[in-house]
Amino acid sequence: MSFCIVKSQVNDNTVFSSETLNDNTYYRRAVETAIWGMPIVAAKAIRDGYENDLGAHYNDIVYHSKTADWKFQTTTPNASTYYIYAAYNITKDGPIVIEVPSADGAGIYGQLCDMWDIPLAIVGPGGEDKGKGGKYLIIPENYNGKIPEGYFSVKQKTAGGFWLMRTIPKSKSVSDLNNAISLIKKIRVYPLSKAENPAKQRYIDASGKIWNGIPKMDETFYEVLSKMVNEEPVLSHDLAIMNMLRTLGIEKGKEYAIPDPKKTAILKKAVIEVKQWFVNQLLQQLKPFWEGHYWALPDTSGIKTQFSYLTNEMLDYDNRGMLGFYGWAPPMKADESAPTIYIQSLKDKNGNFFEGGSVYRLRVPKNVPAKQYWSVTLYDFDTAGFIREAQVVSLDSYNKKTKKNSDGSIDIYFSEKAPAGQENNWVSTKKGRKWFPMFRLYGPDKAFFDKSWVMDDIEKMN
């Protein structure tokens, strides 16, 4: 027996053809599954850059011997610390050991994350090692093997994962910078099975090299998503999504077939909507930290679940997808015990988006409540990465050449070219490209949390 639906009529007398119903369903499911899959596609984009651009393999350590410039094309990275990254796979290699040194001579901070970009553990003073160093052991959730004494065990649901750390120099002096780099060279990554005789650690310096880690937001998104669905285990809270993915030709254990031109056009349109949805979600989530201002914590909904977005009632993949588009390796904490706090804004003092062809000024008040340092960094609105070919991507309190006002505040200018005499107080933009800023406080202090220190919004000068 077979059935063929040619037309469907509903109570308002609207008639849908079978073709229209199929196309509409294909489109809607393309939108929803892209929102759901954004974090894992973004995580793969970063790992692809690690492998393809830098020639790294699982358990290799990629680091920056210099602070990052625009060539570090990942979403909303810092440009003041020294990034360290490694990817691993506990299905391929078994439990993974990460040896972290004591934070001597420089700060160290980071997090271990699974392939859904869920932070599993903090490394450094805010983590279990409390800045004294130690061995973290990444194990499968159902692991029943013996855990060696003295290890900090971390359970993970996914096969793949990564960690992202930063070493934080005390100053920009040569000796302090060398201390920060030397800490990097003390980190080790290897399978537990090789613990008695681990292979020589490979370190790859990414400084000055292009690292393409921005996910492609076009029809190829679904090809990447299919690869990750096949690579990673299906989690119980994703079973309904697996059914939706079948409509797009994505199934566990099956190779993805490139759609015909008509369906490809539908996928392209769906991704455009998804990007706009993420902007809309971000605008809703950016609740002003200080009343009457636009500066806000990036995602208060994620903070409540330590960025798993999973509760007993639901998986909030709307906001999870938004964060997956705008950033990676989120912190587990955003309170006074947090090693770092980020605030961001999408609008200037007059409530308008930031444009690359204008001149803007941010006045940073004196006595910024950051025990280690503060920084302000600009990002491309369309990609959430550094503005490509920007001369200066960030400015921080390490820079002793910045001019201070008589009251101790600092004026920072954002424009395509530095205003006359403001070369040391300038971060570059690009004409025709919208952008947004992020302000970071490393070692945030009480004055931030009790809101006795307040930063005004960015002003458009022309």
Domains and CATH numbers, the chain: 7-37+216-273 (1.10.3360.10), 48-212 (2.60.40.1610), 279-460 (2.60.120.600)
Q: What pLDDT is stored for residue 12 in this prediction?
A: 64
Mean pLDDT in residue range 251-261: 96
Q: Is the pLDDT of residue 173 over 50?
A: yes
Q: What pLDDT is stored for residue 402 in this prediction?
A: 96
Tell me which of 6-10, 23-27, 192-196 is least confident: 6-10
Mean pLDDT in residue range 344-368: 97
Q: Is the pLDDT of residue 303 over 90?
A: no
Bridge-based pairing of strands 160-168 and 82-89 is antiparallel
Taking a C-beta distance cutoff of 8 angstroms, is the pair 133, 97 a contact? Answer: no
Mean pLDDT in residue range 158-180: 93
Instruction: List all residues 6 or more positions away from 280 whose beta carbon is below 8 Å from its beta carbon.
Output: none
Which whole-number Å values give the CA distances from 175 to 45, 100, 105, 179, 180, in the listed order? Answer: 35, 21, 9, 6, 9
Tell me which of 107-111, 189-193, 236-240, 251-255 is least confident: 107-111
Q: How far is the C-alpha of 307 from the C-alpha of 349, rounded, in Å?
A: 30
Mean pLDDT in residue range 206-210: 96
3-state helix, strand, coil in the chain (%, to 5): 25, 25, 45
Q: Is the pLDDT of residue 72 over 80?
A: yes
Taking a C-beta distance cutoff of 8 angstroms, is the pair 96, 179 a contact? Answer: no
Q: Is the pLDDT of residue 436 over 70?
A: yes
Record the pTM: 0.92
Q: What pLDDT is stored for residue 16 in this prediction?
A: 66
Q: Is the pLDDT of residue 243 over 70?
A: yes
Q: Is the pLDDT of residue 5 over 50?
A: no
Q: Is the pLDDT of residue 17 over 90?
A: no
Taking a C-beta distance cutoff of 8 angstroms, is the pair 89, 58 a contact? Answer: yes
Q: Is the pLDDT of residue 4 over 60?
A: no
DSSP class per residue in 24-72: HHHHHHHHHHHHHHHHHHHHHHHHHIIIIIT---TTPEEE-SS---TTE
**Mean pLDDT across the chain, nearest whole number?**
93
Place of tokens 């469907």: 8
Q: Is the pLDDT of residue 15 over 50?
A: yes
Q: Which residue has the higher pLDDT, 15 or 433?
A: 433
Taking a C-beta distance cutoff of 8 angstroms, is the pair 263, 27 a contact? Answer: no
3-state secondary structure of 399: coil
Q: How far is the C-alpha of 382 from the C-alpha of 366, rounded, in Å?
A: 32
